[in-house]
Structure 1
Amino acid sequence: MSQIGREIIASLQELHDVLESGEPLEKHFTIRHYVVPAEPSEYDGSAVRGVRDRYKMSQAIFARFLCVSVDTVQSWEQGRRKPSPIARRLLDEMVANPEHYQTRFSEMAAPKDPKAASAEPNHEARLSKNVKGTGKPRAGVARRTASR
């Protein structure tokens, strides 16, 4: 028998012995309990747009973050399609933890090295940029690099 096989049998024997003794499992094993909603929330077009607007993201940046196409985000927002369960779960997390995601998006938008970023003409994604001449921020801008 292989080493892993012996370890599995020993672990099962240990479990059997604890069950036979009547002692609480927590005394011998790490027990974790999780409550996970059965299904993520439903999102219609305005709800998807609301999440995107909350983070002041363009459709392109939002799509990139969710690993979907811009067409998909547009379809969701126009009510032609509904987000998949995994996309809805992520949207739920974005709604439930806005501070976390705002921090993450700010980190993603900030260049790692400001001097290198200003010299680099093809930044892949920026979450905010000033509207020319106004000094006011606008929604994100997506740019594709030559490597794509």
Structure 2
Amino acid sequence: MKALIQRVSEAFVHVDGKQVGQTGPGLLILVCAMEGDDTANADALAAKIAKLRIFKDEAGKMNRSLLDTGGGALVVSQFTLAADTSRGNRPGFSAAAKPVDGERLYNQFADALRGLGIATEQGRFGADMKVTLVNDGPVTIWMDI
């Protein structure tokens, strides 16, 4: 699985003009299941992100995790993270999991975060979403599992 993680002060996702998810201080996580991924990948990615020390401690150093801060997560599916731009000018997405698998693993990932005690909201899989965020730092990190 792939994820693009953004430390945020707040983030919101809308579908058809209606807000479907939000978080206050915490993480906006754009996530993509890849062909061959399974629930173990989703669980491992959730555990890694939950423990990733990218929040400031009392000394101002990035030394605290989402678990340490009690922050929330907004999880948004984004198959375009699977883009292959190695040939031509049009990205290919054949490395992304098939939609039925992608949705199952997207939900498994969000459920795994919840299982770790993180307040987690989601976008809507496969929908045309509008995402608004205030990037804190900015801190943006790319992860593969």
* TM-score normalized by the length of structure 2: 0.24
Larger Rg computed on CA atoms: 1
Compare the two structures and name the one with the higher helix fraction: 1
* TM-score normalized by the length of structure 1: 0.24
Compare the two structures and name the one with the higher strand fraction: 2
